[in-house]
Amino acid sequence: MTTVRSVDPPPSTGDSARAGWAISLQGVSRSRAGNPVLRDIDLEIRSGEIIAFVGPIGCGASTLLRAVTGAERPDAGVITVDGRAGAAAPRIPEVRDRTPVARFGRVGTSIAAMARRVGRPDAEAEATRLAQVVGLGALDKLVHRLAHGDRQRWALARALATGPGALALDDPLAALPTAARAETRDRVVHELRARRVTTLWVTRDTAEAAAVADRLVVMDRGRVIAAGSPDELYTRVDDAVVAEVLGPVNAVPGIVDGSIVEVWGREVPLARPAADGHCEVIVRPENVLVIGSEDPGMDAVVEATTFLGSARRSTVRTSDGVQVVVEHPSELRLDPEDHIRVALAPAPATIRPIG
């Protein structure tokens, strides 16, 4: 398979220059067999915005996409696409992890057919370009003989060929290996932004969500519990559900005294004022430091370690019995049973009171 790392931007046509569709959800609810799946969703998605939806399994994000595309009808509420609702609303193409494929038909021909359907005179050239965008070679191959990952690439190229005003993507790159997934993701996002396509992107990969999104929407049990930029939500470690969806967090004991909190023999400034007393300090793994044996901190024993490439993530057990996840440079090799010392970085700390 041919992978193309850089692809020329889409040609400057009326199709690519138009603004994407704005999407509005007001009081949208949906139940199955009496069980709520979506609960009173209110959400405004701006024209050309890329929204990534994340949450635990069963959070309702995939159902929300199906409601927006018209594949499922909500039990209550109104969904407006480009100012129109119900049967008058334009249809939004959807690409799922396992998008159904036709039994017959070749890759290039099927992509060109979608471009031709929307009036593109250069349909074959556009099919070739979009195949490069998604990293798909062998345009003469039969679609139903493609591997799972290449079927995902094909479905993306075919959806993009329609020149959509909006696009719904439900884990559209899940079958691709890590390096190819990142390269394909970046090229697809470049295409979406160049065409100003309003995009709803559901993914189980929070790193992918943060990489593609203008805004993250965190869902849990059918509700939107948080929305904001990736940077804003990553720092919300005091909200347990939001914090855990976006990556591991630690809760370590501390004592608030005025404007500081004492943790493991060190004083750290508070992010926000809090009452004096015992607390839990909520901190991301990268803000736990491995320090020298004589420095103020807490002794710990390594339980497990994982290589992440440029960093390692190690789980340690402190001498006061707390399990802590530490992210440290990959050059610092830690093995199970190693004895180390840890401390918090001197960044403003977010706390939860105890009791």
Opening angle at CA 170, ends 167 and 175, nearest 5 = 120
98 pLDDT tier (thresholds 50, 70, 90): confident
14 pLDDT tier (thresholds 50, 70, 90): very low
Cβ atoms of 38 and 25 within 8 Å: the answer is: no
- Residue 226 pLDDT > 80: yes
244 pLDDT tier (thresholds 50, 70, 90): confident
- Residue 12 pLDDT > 80: no
Cα distance between residue 316 and residue 306, in whole Å = 12
pLDDT of residue 246: 86
Kindly report the average pLDDT of the chain as a whole number: 91
Cβ atoms of 329 and 251 within 8 Å: the answer is: no
- Segment 70-98 shows an average pLDDT of 94
- Residue 17 pLDDT > 70: no
- Residue 5 pLDDT > 80: no
104 pLDDT tier (thresholds 50, 70, 90): low
Whether the CA torsion 245, 249, 253, 257 is positive or negative: it is negative
- Segment 179-189 shows an average pLDDT of 95
pLDDT of residue 7: 52
Classify each residue of 177-208 as buried b or exposed e, where b means 16 or more C-beta atoms within 10 Å of its C-beta: eeebbeebbebbbebbeebbbbbbbbbebbeb
- Residue 310 pLDDT > 90: no
- Segment 25-47 shows an average pLDDT of 97
**Cα–Cα nearest to 124, from 102, 147, 104, 140:** 140
Cα distance between residue 352 and residue 305, in whole Å = 28
- Residue 2 pLDDT > 60: no
- Residue 6 pLDDT > 50: no
Cα distance between residue 38 and residue 56, in whole Å = 14
Cβ atoms of 33 and 13 within 8 Å: the answer is: no
Q: Provide, rounded to the nearest whole percent, the portion of the chain with pLDDT above 90.
A: 82
Other Cβ atoms closer than 10 A to 242: 21
8 pLDDT tier (thresholds 50, 70, 90): low
